[in-house]
């Protein structure tokens, strides 16, 4: 498969809270050299959409853009292109992103959640290649994910299926960034690990993190854990166990071939993966767990752009 001929191209865009990346789709799971621009999030949605359109034109390099696919962080409706909310993009509540981008770029636009497109990328080219039923979990600032069921990216009736960060983890757990009490994101995300570390240090718990210079973030907790700090190790163990129990529940519900775990927190390695794997059997039935591989994701930070360009080929190839 290759993008349309006759001088036209399809473009994929990975929109983040701090950076926009755009590239031409060159095949299933491949793309051209990415164009990068700062996301002017504080300037509002119109400025961000203008920056996306400029990145698309730069990526197309003078060729006609026949269509583009974009991954946006936050719950949205892929059928209408309406973003319900985008926590890291002020003013995006109820925004008709698909229509507004189509007007700016003069071509059809398909919109999807960034984590779902990363899931599609891992299924197309990464850890889920060759499977029929695949689950992707991303653990970073928040916790998200995506589902490929019977060979199709599954988004559900409202378009929000796969929001794995907001499954219950503990009825009396801390609130997540969306205000939910006791959900997975409130325990297992990088943000949650850092907030729980700060709370413990403020409460007087002994830890080398008390002497951490600068902002106490998840990376600082990871460094302390690797150096043997008891508090830091406990926080990663609790996060990993919560993730493992959640994944075990997904194994029971969906019986996938593979569950891949990615995101920025994946760099913690065994600090996260050992308690995650140990906790799977606390929830998952033995038979579906034996038939499912739980593995690290393979595409790293490129997953969002691979997913967007691949989605452009799947959904927009006929426009050529």
Query: In this structure, are 17 and 65 located in the same domain?
Result: yes
Residue 6 pLDDT exceeds 70 = no
Give 167-236 as a DSSP string. SBS-TT--B-TT--BTBTHHHHSHHHHHHHHHHHHHTT---GGGG--S---HHHHHHHHHTT-HHHHHHH
Cα-Cα-Cα-Cα torsion 290, 151, 121, 317, nearest 10 degrees, comes to: 170
Least confident of 106-110, 164-168, 253-257, 287-291: 164-168
Query: In this structure, are 103 and 142 located in the same domain?
Result: no
Q: Of all residues in the chain, what percent carry a pLDDT higher than 90? A: 85
Query: In this structure, are 290 and 311 located in the same domain?
Result: no
Is residue 2 domain-resident? no
- pLDDT tens by residue, 292-319: 999 999 999 999 999 999 999 999 986 5
- pLDDT tens by residue, 130-162: 999 999 999 998 899 999 999 999 999 999 999
Mean of per-residue pLDDT scores for the chain: 93
Q: Answer yes or no: are the C-beta atoms of 48 and 89 closer than 8 Å.
A: yes
Query: In this structure, are 292 and 148 located in the same domain?
Result: yes
- pLDDT tens by residue, 214-248: 689 999 999 999 999 999 999 999 999 999 999 99
Query: In this structure, are 236 and 193 located in the same domain?
Result: yes
- Rounded mean pLDDT, 253-279: 95
CATH of the domain at 160: 3.30.420.40
Give the closest residue to 145 by CA, choosing from 154, 153, 136, 156. Answer: 136
Query: In this structure, are 114 and 136 located in the same domain?
Result: no
- pLDDT tens by residue, 20-53: 999 999 998 999 999 999 999 999 999 999 999 9
Q: Is 135 helix (H, G, I), strand (E, B) or coil?
A: strand
Number of structural domains the chain divides into = 2
Query: In this structure, are 290 and 308 located in the same domain?
Result: no
Least confident of 264-273, 286-295, 306-315: 264-273
In the numeric block, the tokens 């559900």 are attached to 156
Is residue 123 domain-resident? no
Tell me which residue range forms the domain holding 199.
130-298
């Amino acid at each position: 498969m290759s993008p349309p001929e006759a001088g036209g191209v399809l473009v994929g865009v990975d929109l983040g809270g701090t950076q926009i990346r755009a590239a031409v789709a060159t095949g299933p799971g491949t793309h051209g050299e990415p164009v990068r621009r700062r996301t002017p999030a504080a300037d509002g949605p119109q400025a961000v959409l203008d920056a996306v359109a400029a990145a698309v034109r730069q990526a197309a390099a003078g060729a006609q853009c026949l269509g583009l696919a974009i991954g946006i962080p936050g719950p949205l409706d892929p059928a209408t292109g309406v973003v319900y909310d985008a926590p890291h993009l002020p003013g995006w509540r109820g925004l008709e992103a698909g229509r507004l981008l189509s007007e700016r770029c003069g071509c059809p636009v398909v919109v999807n959640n960034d984590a779902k497109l990363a899931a599609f990328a891992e299924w197309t080219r990464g850890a889920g290649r060759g499977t029929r039923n695949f689950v992707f979990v991303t653990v970073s600032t928040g916790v998200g994910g995506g589902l490929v069921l019977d060979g199709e990216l599954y988004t559900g009736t409202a378009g929000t299926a796969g929001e794995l960060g907001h499954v219950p983890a503990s009825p009396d757990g801390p609130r997540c960034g969306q205000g939910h009490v006791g959900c997975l994101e409130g325990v297992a995300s990088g943000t949650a690990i850092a907030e729980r570390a700060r709370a413990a240090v403020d409460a007087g718990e002994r830890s080398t993190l008390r002497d951490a210079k600068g902002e106490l973030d998840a990376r600082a907790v990871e460094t302390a854990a690797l150096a043997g700090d008891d508090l830091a190790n406990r926080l990663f163990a609790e996060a990993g166990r919560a993730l493992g129990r959640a994944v075990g529940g997904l194994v029971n519900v969906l019986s996938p071939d593979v569950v891949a775990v990615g995101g920025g927190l994946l760099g913690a390695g065994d600090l996260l993966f050992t308690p995650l794997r140990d906790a799977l059997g606390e929830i998952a039935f033995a038979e579906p767990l034996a038939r499912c591989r739980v593995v690290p994701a393979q595409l790293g930070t490129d997953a969002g752009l691979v997913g967007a360009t691949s989605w452009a080929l799947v959904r927009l190839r006929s426009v050529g």
